């Protein structure tokens, strides 16, 4: 469906952005055409996308902007064709290895010079997520943090404090188990939540770079370093840290164990905060901390699924497209589109600000200060689709039957050799 930018966006506050308030194109007035295909099809993201196009058009009245909004799921199968024949100038996609097929096929434009010459300030923490083969292939516009959400009231009752090391995490868990509760709620019925635990344990055990090498198929699953990750994971499993029968629950169903006070923590994304509040937990009862360190010498890696804009290599209006990328990553625009009235997520520009929400504030501080680490996109985005599917099945099986580890790793290694070949 094609949009001609008629939607009202005043409710989102875009009208408050004065023309010229955000630098783009080094202040040049643009003309000609700009074709954008966006998958921001749900109501709130759609309003944001239409607002961005409208505001950019008001800054450049001689520019003809053609915005086409397509269904988010359909776009996953349509994007390759869209990038080849009569390509638009800007498209939506995802960061890190999800860019890989289009980078490798020569379908995304290399915009490394924009990062190098200062056109994109404030993006240091997420530059790595846009980097493949040492070059940058797009810009991020929104992401959200993962981490440990916990029952602050339960911690206080047991005399626990937020851990900073894995040893402290395990010590806390033992006290929680000894009290008759479970340390962690989790629902692995749909597999992907187990991927979050592997991501963090592997990044903390072996580092972000190693984790991404594994995701790219450059490391064997039977490698001793991967086994060390699973050994750390088994410490939690063997002490009875997870809720029972987690393979029977979705993540939403498992949340009840935390809201009912039967489990103390949940490793999850910030999207879980609203359901916690809806279930009756106050902000005085819940809090957040960064997944603890295992090897303190390693840079911190964080899961922060990131949505992005890219310029197709076959685009006709690349100067206009580059100006639009500057616009959408500027601090003021990032603040506006990620507010609670819009996307309700985190801006990627470190100079932006966030709504007065303690979890958004903690997540923004954590991710903005992660320039020396890396931003992972989550297991089912960082690994190729088939490897992610096979891998997450193995991760769930390990959580239920940890003695099966050797068989699981052999299967995953066989899959690696077949899939990456």
Q: Do residues 408 and 207 touch, judged by C-beta distance below 8 A?
A: no
Regarding whether 161 and 58 lie in a shared domain, the answer is no
In a domain, 379, yes or no: no
> What integer pLDDT is reported at residue 421 of this predicted model?
85
Regarding whether 55 and 36 lie in a shared domain, the answer is yes
Q: What is the pTM of this model?
A: 0.84
Regarding whether 193 and 83 lie in a shared domain, the answer is no
Regarding whether 163 and 128 lie in a shared domain, the answer is no
Regarding whether 182 and 76 lie in a shared domain, the answer is no
**What does each C-alpha distance from 11 to 22, 206, 241, 336, 338 come to in angstroms?**
20, 46, 45, 11, 14
Measured in degrees and rounded to the nearest 5, phi and psi for residue 2 equal -100, 135
Q: Is the pLDDT of residue 368 over 90?
A: no
Give the residue, 24 or 108, on which the prediction is more confident. Answer: 108
- How far is Cα 131 from Cα 128, in angstroms, rounded to an integer? 5
Work out how many domains the chain is built from and give that number.
2
Question: Residue 13: pLDDT band by 50, 70, 90 thresholds?
Answer: very low
In a domain, 67, yes or no: yes
Q: Is the pLDDT of residue 6 over 70?
A: no
- How far is Cα 11 from Cα 15, in angstroms, rounded to an integer? 9
Regarding whether 410 and 265 lie in a shared domain, the answer is yes
Place of tokens 């209006």: 317
CATH of the domain at 66: 3.40.190.10
Q: Find how far residue 360's CA is from the centre of its chain.
A: 14
Regarding whether 150 and 167 lie in a shared domain, the answer is yes
Regarding whether 329 and 189 lie in a shared domain, the answer is no
Q: Is the pLDDT of residue 241 over 80?
A: yes
**Using one digit for the tens of pLDDT, what is the confidence trace for 387-407?**
999 999 999 999 999 999 999
- How far is Cα 222 from Cα 212, in angstroms, rounded to an integer? 16
**Using one digit for the tens of pLDDT, what is the confidence trace for 110-121?**
999 999 999 999
Helix (H) or strand (E) holding 93: strand 90-94
In a domain, 349, yes or no: yes
Measured in degrees and rounded to the nearest 5, phi and psi for residue 166 equal -65, -35
**Using one digit for the tens of pLDDT, what is the confidence trace for 262-300?**
999 999 999 999 999 999 999 999 999 999 999 999 988
Rounded to an integer, the average pLDDT of 65-81 is 94
Place of tokens 């999850």: 268
In a domain, 327, yes or no: yes
List the one residue out of 50, 69, 60 whose CA is nearest residue 12: 50
Rounded to an integer, the average pLDDT of 139-156 is 96
List the one residue out of 94, 113, 106, 80 whose CA is nearest residue 326: 113
Regarding whether 128 and 40 lie in a shared domain, the answer is yes
Question: Residue 24: pLDDT band by 50, 70, 90 thresholds?
Answer: low
Residue 281: give the domain boundaries: 146-303+384-419
Regarding whether 18 and 120 lie in a shared domain, the answer is yes
**What does each C-alpha distance from 16 to 22, 79, 264, 349 come to in angstroms?**
12, 33, 42, 19
Q: Is the pLDDT of residue 236 over 90?
A: yes
In a domain, 376, yes or no: no
Helix (H) or strand (E) holding 264: strand 263-269
**What does each C-alpha distance from 277 to 135, 144, 182, 271, 357 come to in angstroms?**
41, 18, 21, 11, 13
In a domain, 372, yes or no: no
In a domain, 373, yes or no: no
Query: What DSSP designation does 26 have?
Result: G
Regarding whether 89 and 32 lie in a shared domain, the answer is yes
List the one residue out of 400, 395, 150 whose CA is nearest residue 267: 150
For 311, the token pair is 């310029």
List the one residue out of 408, 373, 382, 362 whose CA is nearest residue 199: 382
Residue 186: CB atoms within 10 Å: 26
Question: Residue 341: pLDDT band by 50, 70, 90 thresholds?
Answer: confident
- Return the top range by mean pLDDT from 7-16, 202-211, 339-348: 202-211
Rounded to an integer, the average pLDDT of 28-35 is 93
In a domain, 369, yes or no: no
Q: Do residues 312 and 87 touch, judged by C-beta distance below 8 A?
A: yes
**What does each C-alpha distance from 409 to 228, 236, 246, 291, 349 come to in angstroms?**
12, 19, 21, 25, 39
Regarding whether 99 and 30 lie in a shared domain, the answer is yes
């Amino acid at each position: 469906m094609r949009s001609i930018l008629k939607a009202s966006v005043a409710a989102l506050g875009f009208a408050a952005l004065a023309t010229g308030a955000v630098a783009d194109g080094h202040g040049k007035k643009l003309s000609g055409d700009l074709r954008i295909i966006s998958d921001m099809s749900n109501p709130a993201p759609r309003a944001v996308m239409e607002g961005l196009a409208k505001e950019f058009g008001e800054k450049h009245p001689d520019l003809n902007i053609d915005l086409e909004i397509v269904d988010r799921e359909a776009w996953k199968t349509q994007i390759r064709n869209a990038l080849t024949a009569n390509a638009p100038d800007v498209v939506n996609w995802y960061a890190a290895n999800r860019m890989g097929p289009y980078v490798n096929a020569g379908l995304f434009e290399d915009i490394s010079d924009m990062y190098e010459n200062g056109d994109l300030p404030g993006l240091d923490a997420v530059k790595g997520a846009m980097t493949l083969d040492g070059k940058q292939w797009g810009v991020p516009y929104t992401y959200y943090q993962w981490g440990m959400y916990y029952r602050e009231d339960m911690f206080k009752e047991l005399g626990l404090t937020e851990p900073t090391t894995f040893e402290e995490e395990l010590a806390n868990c033992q006290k929680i188990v000894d009290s008759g509760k479970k340390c962690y709620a989790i629902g692995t019925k749909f597999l992907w939540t187990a991927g979050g635990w592997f991501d963090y344990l592997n990044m903390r055990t072996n580092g972000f770079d190693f984790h991404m090498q594994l995701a790219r198929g450059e490391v064997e699953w039977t490698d001793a370093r991967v086994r060390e990750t699973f050994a750390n994971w088994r410490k939690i499993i063997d002490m009875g840290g997870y809720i029972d029968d987690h393979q029977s629950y979705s993540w939403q169903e498992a949340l009840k164990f935390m809201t009912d006070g039967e489990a103390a923590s949940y490793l999850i994304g910030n999207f879980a905060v609203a359901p916690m509040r809806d279930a009756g937990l106050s902000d005085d009862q819940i809090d957040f901390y960064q997944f603890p360190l295992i090897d303190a010498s390693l840079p911190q890696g964080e899961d922060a699924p990131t949505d992005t804009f890219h310029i197709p290599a076959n685009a006709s209006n690349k100067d206009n497209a580059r100006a639009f990328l500057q616009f959408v990553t500027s601090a003021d625009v990032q603040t506006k589109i990620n507010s609670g009235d819009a996307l309700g997520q985190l801006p990627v520009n470190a100079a932006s600000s966030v709504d007065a929400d303690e979890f958004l504030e903690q997540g923004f501080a954590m991710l903005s200060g992660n320039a020396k680490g890396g931003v992972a996109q989550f297991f089912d985005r960082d690994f190729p689709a088939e490897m992610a599917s096979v891998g997450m099945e193995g991760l769930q099986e390990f959580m239920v039957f940890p003695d099966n580890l050797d068989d699981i790793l052999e299967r995953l290694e066989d899959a690696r050799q077949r899939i990456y070949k």
